[in-house]
Structure 1
Amino acid sequence: MPLTEARPQTLLLMLFGDFVLDRDVRVFSGSVIDVCARLGISSHAARSTLARMVGRDLLRRQRDGRRMYFGLTERSTALLRDGRTRIWGTGAVNDHWDGTWTLLSFSLPESWQRQRHDLRSQLAWSGFGPIQGGLWIAPGQVGAEQIVSDLGLEAHARVFHARAGALTDIGAMVSDAYDLAGLAARYDDFLARWDGPPPLADPLAARLALMAEWLHAIRRDPRLPVEHLPPDWPAVRAQKVFRELEAACAEPARRVAGEILETG
């Protein structure tokens, strides 16, 4: 099994999110490569990943004498803050649902294949699932208006907030609208690697891999109300394992990072 299942780019984003975000500092490239070595990433792969991230506007590169430093861009800052909210703000377990749903109904011309694809992708990312035709739902109050507005589809969509009536089988509706097996598999995979002795002994490498793999598990989770999910929903156990491991490795990882990372 590889040291981590996360991609080098994701691991580097976790590194910058932990130790650069909101600090207005840059990190010396050599120290980033040292961290990558702890994750089993070669120096060549690390340099290639840094270059690709600059090309994708995820990192900004700045030379200081003979040294090269990397810092965050506006784009990566926004992505990392969103990830931080998903991890620590909303979490993976929706056990305080207020019973409300956001409904979005849309009707697009048949020829608008790209617009339809973009809208469905944005809705899925934001926690919506289709229940029939052009009607999608998401638990709670979701900013569907912003999604529609950003895509320029205001004239073709309607947004409602409502509660299900007594005749609605919410559990069946959730099962129809969402790929529950696929969602559960992400948490099962996480537990298979992390519910037990950490797969990495190095505290910094373990923390970065833990954060990256947890974000992968939760990033497309619509946070469905747990009372309408199958018994023993694996997100409950997975979140508990994540938080316990994160608390255990946080301080040791910071000490190691403090010794390795050179900032400017």
Structure 2
Amino acid sequence: MTAPQLRPQNLLLMLLGDFVLDREVCVFSGSVIEALDRLGVSEHAARSTLTRMAARDLLRRRRHGRRMYFGLTARSTAVLRDGRTRIWRTGAVDEDWDGTWTLLCFSLPEAWQRQRHDLRSRLAWAGFGPLQGGLWIAPGPAATADIVAGLGLTAHVRVFRARADELTDLPAMIGDAWDLPGLAARYESFLARWETARPDDAFAARLRLVAEWHDTIRYDPRLPVEHLPQDWPGVRAQKVFRELAPALEAPARAVAAGLLDLRPDPGA
């Protein structure tokens, strides 16, 4: 199956997360270009990505002699740590659900289209699904304070924690709030590419694998596995990822040691 088109920025973030994050180093731009070339990203696209990320406060420029290096900012560090948690710790399925739901309801002025869009986007990323109107729901004790406060919407949002009554058809409710066929299709697509993969280039394969996994689970709310369809493909896909990614790590780092020009970053 044809691999999905991944944005150069996503691939670069995976590179930074693997080899720069929490190491207090910066990376030579030429190294980035060479690394992304192994993933099919052109030099022009790589340079443009570096420029855009610097303009968006995701990278800091550090000059050493005639060479330009790039280090992480507080913003990109937070993004990468959040992604690391989602990829390596949280997982794609919830096998230890405590039976509770987080309910969030909001009412915004009609003219606040941008704020409404931003809130819905942040809620979807946090695992919420729309139940009806301005009522969104997420399994377990979902974090909402930073989302609401960060958007300046505290006065317009109410949050509750609850358990479903026995009259509630939970599988039907889940099917209404989340696109289960769409989620399942993403996992099946991931499995079609990676379940029997035997990559030659461990460095490129690991970056692409992690980027694709992050993209696959991006909007998965980690629903209780007991209320998902039998043989949910997310369970198998997570097993494939957690076996293949560590197997590629050592050979990928061996390549990176000779490929990436890293220097101490005193401003990290």
- TM-score normalized by structure 2? 0.92
1:214 is matched by which residue type in structure 2? W
Deviates further, 147-156 or 5-14: 147-156
Q: Distance in 2 between matches of 1:43 and 1:144?
A: 40
Alignment coverage as a number of residue pairs: 263
Indicate the SS of the match to 2:45.
helix
CA contact (8 A) 1:103 1:161 kept: yes
Q: Distance in 2 between matches of 1:231 and 1:75?
A: 40
Give 2:151's aligned residue: 151
- TM-score normalized by structure 1? 0.94
Q: Distance in 2 between matches of 1:3 and 1:169?
A: 38
Unaligned runs of 5+ in 2: 264-268
Give 1:197's aligned residue: 197
Q: Distance in 2 between matches of 1:142 and 1:18?
A: 27
Give 2:243's aligned residue: 244
Q: How does 1:81-160 map to 2 (within 5 A)?
A: 81-160=81-160
Indicate the SS of the match to 1:99.
coil
Q: 1:62 to 1:158 in 2, by over 3 A?
A: same
Q: Distance in 1 between matches of 2:116 and 2:37?
A: 43
Give 1:12's aligned residue: 12
1:35 CA drift (Å): 1.3
1:246 is matched by which residue type in structure 2? A
Give 2:163's aligned residue: 163
2:138 is matched by which residue type in structure 1? A
Indicate the SS of the match to 1:131.
strand
1:85 is matched by which residue type in structure 2? T
CA contact (8 A) 1:170 1:228 kept: yes
Give 2:266's aligned residue: none
Residue 28, structure 1, aligned to residue 32, structure 2:
no
Indicate the SS of the match to 1:36.
helix
1:248 CA drift (Å): 1.0
Q: Distance in 2 between matches of 1:154 and 1:45?
A: 40
CA contact (8 A) 2:17 2:80 kept: yes
1:117 CA drift (Å): 2.2
CA contact (8 A) 1:128 1:137 kept: yes
Q: 1:4 to 1:68 in 2, by over 3 A?
A: farther
Indicate the SS of the match to 2:161.
strand
Deviates further, 39-48 or 126-135: 39-48
Deviates further, 33-42 or 241-250: 33-42
CA contact (8 A) 2:3 2:193 kept: no
Indicate the SS of the match to 2:262.
coil
Q: How does 1:150-229 map to 2 (within 5 A)?
A: 150-198=150-198, 200-229=199-228
Q: Distance in 2 between matches of 1:47 and 1:208?
A: 18
2:116 is matched by which residue type in structure 1? R
Give 1:257's aligned residue: 256
Cα deviations by residue, 1:99-153 (Å, 9 ceiling, x for unpaired):
0100112223333333322222221121111212222110000122332222222
Q: Distance in 1 between matches of 2:121 and 2:3?
A: 31
Q: Distance in 2 between matches of 1:148 and 1:41?
A: 37
Cα deviations by residue, 1:51-82 (Å, 9 ceiling, x for unpaired):
22212222111111111111111111111000
Q: 1:43 to 1:254 in 2, by over 3 A?
A: same
Q: Distance in 1 between matches of 2:48 and 2:109?
A: 43
Residue 68, structure 1, aligned to residue 94, structure 2:
no
Give 2:233's aligned residue: 234
Give 1:42's aligned residue: 42
Indicate the SS of the match to 1:26.
strand
Q: Distance in 1 between matches of 2:157 and 2:57?
A: 32
Q: Distance in 2 between matches of 1:37 and 1:157?
A: 46
Indicate the percent of aligned positions where both proteins have the same amino acid.
70
Cα deviations by residue, 1:147-202 (Å, 9 ceiling, x for unpaired):
2222222232211111111111111110011111121122122112111124x421
1:4 CA drift (Å): 6.2
1:2 CA drift (Å): 6.5
Q: 1:119 to 1:44 in 2, by over 3 A?
A: closer
CA RMSD of aligned residues (A): 1.6
1:3 CA drift (Å): 6.7
